[in-house]
Amino acid sequence: MTSRAALSRLFVPTSKDVSASARVASHQLMLRAGLIRQSASGVYSLLPFAVRALGKLERIIDEEMETIGANKLSLPGILSADAWRKTGRWDTMGTELFRLSDRKESAFCLAPTHEEEVTQLIAAEVSSYRQLPLRLYQIGRKYRDELRPRSGLLRAREFVMKDLYTFDADEAAAMETYDTVVGAYRRIFNRIGVPYAIAEADTGQIGGKRSHEFHFCSDAGEDTLLSCTHCGYTANEELAQGIHAPTAAAHTATPSQQQKAPINDAPRLSARRAIEVGHTFLLGDKYSRPLEATYQPVATTSTGATTSAQVPIQMGCYGLGVTRALAAIAQATHDEHGLRWPWSIAPYRVCVIPLQLSGKNTAGDEQLLADAQRLQDQLETEVPGLRGEVVLDDRRGLSPGWRLKDAELIGYPWLVVLGRAWARDGRVELQRRWTREREDVSIDVLKERLRAAAQAADQR
């Protein structure tokens, strides 16, 4: 192959040191593994490995949005205050809104979300039922002036988000769309391959009639989910309510002998901390009515004449924090040795390590490196799902222990080590990062193991 991914040519500034401000594991590990660097409070540069992982997550989202017929667009990041004043959110958003003025003293904000902007667009372009339903989404940067930015990408002032906006003719159609989108979200999270939870939620500042949250469970989460151990129903603690059953005092006969009856299988609530990464809202006409996003329905009078009454479009909005999800996955899956990326979004799925590169450019070094390059080429061409997904650690002069620890820190799903077994009988040491299982295998068995891993990921 003419172009190989090799760590000697990639910008991956790993480090042993951790900033004192990094208090949660995902923040610490993403800094140490060379994925992010802080630019200002709550503002981060995404380095090449983070960009690769983010790109894979965005491709999964794009594919599932395309499956449900959503059109991708790009809305501006600087928004006029006019529409926000019409919906009342210019005032209710408070200090979280980044506000600015141009040289003519016109008021703008940096977009924290796009309900107003996209509704204005639809109000100008849609006028007939024949143009509905419509599903529009984007993946782009959002801004929120967090009072206390913290936890790296989990609570940042600038973040990447996927936001989908849906437009339907009536509430029944909007509800059907809502269920369709929730199904797409389930497929997105299933494909990521990390356990998640769905909870009924409060509609908050966005508003609307119905809302669900998608969470990765972690002790570092700021939300508490309550789940019924009997039926599995889950809700955010902010929404969860008990049902009070009123009772009335009465006298009644109890002639039977008193017995103690144990309650086995009584429903209980379990609580767990979680990180919210997705939120779905059924908005109704909360935004379409004040922004006059209406359409001409099919309607006739008793005489058969058509009416001209305009009807507000029924809306839904569906957010997914992409950079937040990246950090939440890191938080939910890490161990004491470093990150553990799922196959679906790992920056690279396999790292090949020729362990005994001395750095002296000896004939033995050159032969070992050539063997590793040949193996890298074979894996990329012969194992489905590995083209462009194998990186070679060709850095010289580093101790074997340092390179193995560096690979564990970064969190490649699989490590292929050319060590003693390679020199002895042509076998490699295969390490699975999630379980830290190790085995010496032949090249043929190596390919079988990785094919099985790729097939298992494809079946999610």
Model confidence over 265-290: pLDDT tens digits?
556 778 888 999 999 999 999 999 99
Q: Which CATH superfamily is domain 25-240+269-300+310-333 in?
A: Bira Bifunctional Protein; Domain 2 (3.30.930.10)
Q: Residue 55 corresponds to which amino acid?
A: G
292/285 Cα distance (integer angstroms): 10
Does residue 267 contact residue 228 with C-beta atoms inside 8 Å? yes
pLDDT for 368 equals: 93
CA neighbours within 13 Å on the CB side: how many for 166?
28
111 closest CA partner among 80, 137, 71: 80
**pLDDT surpasses 70 at 246:** no
The average pLDDT across 14-40 equals 93
pLDDT for 226 equals: 84
The average pLDDT across 6-28 equals 93
Does residue 45 contact residue 36 with C-beta atoms inside 8 Å? yes
**pLDDT surpasses 70 at 206:** no
pLDDT for 299 equals: 64
- What is the chain's mean pLDDT, rounded? 90
The average pLDDT across 389-393 equals 98
Task: Lowest mean pLDDT of 280-284, 355-359, 415-419, name the range.
Answer: 355-359
Report the chain's C-alpha Rg in angstroms: 27
Using CA of residue 319, residue 324, residue 329, residue 332, what is the dihedral sign?
negative
Comparing 253 with 60, the larger pLDDT belongs to 60
pTM, to two decimals:
0.89
- As a CATH number, domain 348-458 is 3.40.50.800
Taking each helix axis from N to C end, the angle separating 322-333 and 48-67, rounded to the nearest 10 degrees, works out to 110
**pLDDT surpasses 80 at 45:** yes
Taking each helix axis from N to C end, the angle separating 443-458 and 363-382, rounded to the nearest 10 degrees, works out to 40
pLDDT-derived band of residue 242, with 50, 70 and 90 as boundaries?
A: low
Does residue 354 contact residue 393 with C-beta atoms inside 8 Å? yes
For the stretch 139-174, pLDDT in tens is 999 999 999 999 999 999 999 999 999 999 999 999
Question: Chain centroid to CA 184: how far?
Answer: 13
317 closest CA partner among 342, 283, 287: 283
pLDDT-derived band of residue 244, with 50, 70 and 90 as boundaries?
A: very low
The average pLDDT across 225-236 equals 75
Task: Tell me the three state secondary structure of residue 284.
Answer: strand
pLDDT for 357 equals: 79
Q: Is 264 exposed, middle or buried (0-12, 13-18, 19+ CB in 10 A)?
A: exposed
11/15 Cα distance (integer angstroms): 13
pLDDT for 353 equals: 97
pLDDT for 364 equals: 84
Question: Chain centroid to CA 451: how far?
Answer: 26
Judge if the upstream peptide bond of residue 133 is cis by omega within 30 degrees of 0.
yes
pLDDT for 414 equals: 98
Domains of the chain, by residue range, sit at 25-240+269-300+310-333, 348-458
pLDDT for 223 equals: 85
pLDDT-derived band of residue 362, with 50, 70 and 90 as boundaries?
A: confident
**pLDDT surpasses 50 at 327:** yes
418/368 Cα distance (integer angstroms): 8
pLDDT-derived band of residue 235, with 50, 70 and 90 as boundaries?
A: confident
Question: Which token pair is 289?
Answer: 């009515």
319 closest CA partner among 170, 138, 94: 138
Distances (CA, A) of 3 to 287, 349, 350, 380: 51, 17, 16, 12
**pLDDT surpasses 70 at 443:** yes
Tell me the percentage of the chain whose pLDDT exceeds 90.
76
Tell me the percentage of the chain whose pLDDT exceeds 70.
89
DSSP code string of 118-170: HHHHHHHH--BGGG-SEEEEEEEEEE---SS-BTGGGB-SEEEEEEEEEEESS
